[in-house]
Amino acid sequence: MYFTLAHLALAATPLLVSAAFEKYQTIDGFGISGTFQRANLIFNLQQPKQREVLDLLFNTTTGAGFSIVRNVIGSTPNSNSDYMNTILPKCPSTPVEVTTNYSGYIWDGKDSGQVFLSQSAQEYGVKAFYANAWSAPGCMKTNKQDTNGEQLCGVSTSCRSGDWKQAYANYLVAYIKFYASVGVKYASMQSSGTQAAEFIKVLRPTLDRANLTSVGINCCEATGWSVATQHASQIASAGAEPLIYAITSHEYSSRISGTMHNNARVWQTKYSDLNGGWGTPWYSNSGTGDGFTWANTVFNGVDRATNNNNNEKLILIEGQTYQVSKQLWAFAQFRIVRPGAVRVDASTTGGGAIIKAGAFANADGSKVLNE
């Protein structure tokens, strides 16, 4: 089937945008993150500004209509500076005590504003919450710190204190249960580490035993597309591919450059050009951090693929004021593409290479096109 969705004239060349029903990937959604305590900035805003900012993020008619919230599972003992604190600020000396119901967890009910952001998103109908572990608490690792890489004790390496794989899996389940206690249900969680498959084999059964069968495991927040592609094949060779939901990748070390061939979903979970100051333009000649660049970034990703006042944020909140960047509106172009949509073929003829067209079939039967 082949039909024309829009026909417009651009300069002298007629432009034809068309979509055909060749099906590509299913879209789980588009998301935001309020990590590094940025969720607190929204929490601390007074009305009506708080509602305005939430509308900008989640409203499907007046805002960007985001459908995924990515939270970070803190790993530091406190939340000084921008740190995200762990629910296990003091570890017992051996892993065996760290059960899912261990009494030493400290849940402050706020999680640096992420509970508020998640609950608010839920009011707008967001169903996908993605908890992202950047590190295990230091006491579970070979270097005894949550920073500077190294391994979870027990993953291809042994520690005098024991094998912490099961304890860490229990800890992650406990974190999900704290969220469940405030009404937020996770759809996904993340594992990281070079020997991720070994840990995933412990985590999956631990989630299942806790009746968290609907919580998927995403892996491994690679720094870039090439690394993520390697992770995907390592996980497949280790036989862990059926245990994961999605392969996750950033785009810092390499950009999305092709289709990743594996059976799991693929999520692009983080990127910033880390370049230039805060600004709100749609288009600037330098082509960094403007709305147009980000419309292209999202388009390319779909089609194939800390404060410092920098340009990586969509909304800048300072005390009781906020400013909106055109980057937010770049994402808003995709708000018509709802979770569960399938991308279908779209192409343009004429108009030079200026216009890009993407077409999607939403799960409710509506067909949408963005240009």
Question: Which residues sit at the interface with ligand NAG, rule CB under 6 A?
Answer: 55, 59, 61-62, 99-101, 124, 210-211
Q: Is 171 exposed, middle or buried (CB count within 10 Å of its CB: 0-12, 13-18, 19+)?
A: buried
Phi, psi (degrees; rounded to nearest 5) at 332: -60, -25
- Of 213 and 275, the one with the shorter C-beta distance to ligand NAG is 213
- Of 95 and 193, the one with the shorter C-beta distance to ligand NAG is 95
Q: Which residue has 């993020």 as its token pair?
A: 57
- Find the shortest distance in angstroms from Cβ 174 to ligand NAG: 10
- Of 210 and 240, the one with the shorter C-beta distance to ligand NAG is 210
Which are the contacts of 29, defined by CB distance < 8 A and separation ≥ 6?
66, 67, 68, 128, 338, 339
- Find the shortest distance in angstroms from Cβ 67 to ligand NAG: 13
Task: Give the C-alpha distances (Å, rounded to integers) separating 30 from 166, 304, 355.
Answer: 32, 15, 22
DSSP readout, 14-55?
EEEEEEEEEEEEEE---EEE-TTTHHHHHHTPPTTHHHHHHH
Phi, psi (degrees; rounded to nearest 5) at 209: -60, -30
Peptide bond into 220 cis (omega under 30): yes
- Of 181 and 347, the one with the shorter C-beta distance to ligand NAG is 181
**Strand, helix or coil for residue 137:** coil
- Find the shortest distance in angstroms from Cβ 63 to ligand NAG: 7
- Find the shortest distance in angstroms from Cβ 158 to ligand NAG: 23
- Of 94 and 101, the one with the shorter C-beta distance to ligand NAG is 101
Helix (H) or strand (E) holding 92: none
- Find the shortest distance in angstroms from Cβ 16 to ligand NAG: 34
- Of 62 and 306, the one with the shorter C-beta distance to ligand NAG is 62
Q: Is 26 exposed, middle or buried (CB count within 10 Å of its CB: 0-12, 13-18, 19+)?
A: middle
Q: Which residue has 């509106």 as its token pair?
A: 329
- Of 17 and 91, the one with the shorter C-beta distance to ligand NAG is 91
- Of 15 and 128, the one with the shorter C-beta distance to ligand NAG is 128
Residues in a beta bridge with 210 = none
Helix (H) or strand (E) holding 131: strand 128-133
DSSP percent split of the chain into helix, strand, coil, nearest 5: 25, 25, 50
- Find the shortest distance in angstroms from Cβ 102 to ligand NAG: 8
- Find the shortest distance in angstroms from Cβ 155 to ligand NAG: 21
- Find the shortest distance in angstroms from Cβ 189 to ligand NAG: 17
- Find the shortest distance in angstroms from Cβ 101 to ligand NAG: 4
- Of 57 and 359, the one with the shorter C-beta distance to ligand NAG is 57
Half-sphere exposure of 71 (CA within 13 A, CB side): 32
